[in-house]
Each structure stands twice: as structure tokens, then as C-alpha cells.
Amino acid sequence: MTPRHSLPKLNLVVLISGGGTNLQSLIDAIQGGELHAEIRAVLSNEPEAYGLERAKKAGIPTCVLSHRDYLDRSAYDADLAEKIEYFQPDYLILAGFMRILSSGFVQRFQDRILNIHPALLPKFKGTNTHQRALDAGEIEHGATVHLVTEKLDDGPNLLQASVSILEGETAETLRQRVLKEEHRIYPAAIQKLATGEMKISDGQIIWTHNETE
């Protein structure tokens, strides 16, 4: 097995639209030595996103590219891709990025875009997942780190975590408990890529079990 210190760090670009709590979990994991990676840049489509402040506090370069300045999705995605390429990331990390990416964008970064979704995929794709889980009478709910493909929330799963739905649960209490799991499994999934325990090839997740010492 290859010692961790001899492995190159994964280069990441993180895309956000809001508060950036999942971004913060990645920053904390890197600073704590739990994630062998470097966040090269944080990009946002929202200039007021608090996640930009989190990045600045950590000394990470930021960039704002507002979708409102573009006539269509493809033009926006083309410029976004150019800015991302400048930082030469190994992976793009979607952390609350509230934009559906075009097919051309996904193809350009094939096998390199990760997302975290607040549900146990393939259940509850899309939005409002916590209330939908409650309305469906589910006994458990959770979060999924998955590979982004051209179909919404449809790529193969890297890692999942579940929580039991409690008596008297509300969508907000469930959201908070699931969010804690998101903060745990997102850096953990990326670390598996960093150590080589997991690889992504041709849209498939390959477990190599090649963990570092």
C-alpha cells in the first residue's frame, strides 16, 4: 500500500450557491488532515452566497459568475467551464450549487463531477426531499454522494448515510439531522478517491480496496 504522504493531493473546484456548510466540512476535513486534497477555487452563481466568505477566510480563491448575465444555459455553462479549467481540478464538487448543468458541461467533465443529494437515492430525486420522505411514510432518510451524469440525480452512488425518522419529525428537524450526515460523508467519499480506494471510470464506481497506510 502507498503511504498517504507520497500521494498527490486531489485538486478540487467547489461550486456553491448559498451558505456553503458542505464547503466548510471539506475545508475542515482538509485542515484536520482527514482529506488529502486542495480546494483550488470556489465558484458561485450568487454574489451574496455566504460560502464565498467561508472560502475567503480559508484563503481560497473565489469567483462569481452570475447566471443572470447570460441569455441561455449553454452560454453560461461554457463560460463556467472555462473558468473551472483555469484551475485544472481533478474533480468538481457541487456543494449546494442550485443550477442544473447542461449535457455539454457534464460531458466536458465526464467522471469528474460529484454532488451530494439529501435523500437515499434513487428515492426522492429533485427538491423538497425531506417533506416528501415524511409524506411517503418512510422510516429512514439520508444523504447520497453521487457521480453527476446528464440525468438529474441519476449517477451511481459513491457513499450513503441514513438516519431513522423519529416520531414527531418535521421537515426542518429531519433536514438538520441529514445535513450532519452530509458533512460527514462528503469529505469521506472524496478521501476514498484521494487514497485510490475508489476510482471512477466510464460512469462506473470501481472499488479497488487500495487504502493507504
pLDDT at 14: 98
For residue 13, count other CB atoms closer than 10 A to its CB: 25
CATH architecture of 9-109: 3-Layer(aba) Sandwich (3.40)
Catalytic residue set: 117
What mean pLDDT do residues 22-34 have?
98
Q: What is the pLDDT confidence band of residue 109, given thresholds at 50, 70 and 90? A: very high
- Domain-wise residue ranges, the chain: 9-109, 118-144+160-213
pLDDT at 167: 95
Does pLDDT of 150 surpass 60? yes
pLDDT at 40: 98
Does pLDDT of 197 surpass 50? yes
Same fold, 9-109 and 118-144+160-213: yes
Cell of 63: 469567483
What are 132-147's pLDDT values in tens digits?
Answer: 999 999 999 999 999 9
> Residues of 94-118 as b/e, b for ≥16 C-beta within 10 angstroms?
bbbbebebbeebbebbebbbbbbbb
The CATH number of 118-144+160-213 is: 3.40.50.170
In this prediction the pTM is 0.93
